């Protein structure tokens, strides 16, 4: 079963919190190539601004 919400507090583990926010908001996703991410539509739009 997948988690629907953010499972860690921002002030406890910022890196994990940020990763969860980006992935669960649909801004980016992991690529099949190890160590790479793929920007999704809105993530790319933010990146370009």
Q: pLDDT tens, 11-46?
A: 999 999 999 999 999 999 999 999 999 999 999 999
Number of C-alpha atoms within 13 angstroms, CB side, residue 2? 4
Measured between alpha carbons, how far is 38 from 31 in angstroms, rounded to an integer? 6
- Would you state the pLDDT for residue 2? 58
Measured between alpha carbons, how far is 46 from 39 in angstroms, rounded to an integer? 10
- Would you state the pLDDT for residue 4? 76
pTM of the model: 0.77
DSSP secondary structure letter of residue 2? -
Confidence of residue 1 (pLDDT cuts 50, 70, 90): very low
- Would you state the pLDDT for residue 16? 96
CB atoms within 10 A of CB 31: 10
Where are the chain's structural domains? 14-48
């Amino acid at each position: 079963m997948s988690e629907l919400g953010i499972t860690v507090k921002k002030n406890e583990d910022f890196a994990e919190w940020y990763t969860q926010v980006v992935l669960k908001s649909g801004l980016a996703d992991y690529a099949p190539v190890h160590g790479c991410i793929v920007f999704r539509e809105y993530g790319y739009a933010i990146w370009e601004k």
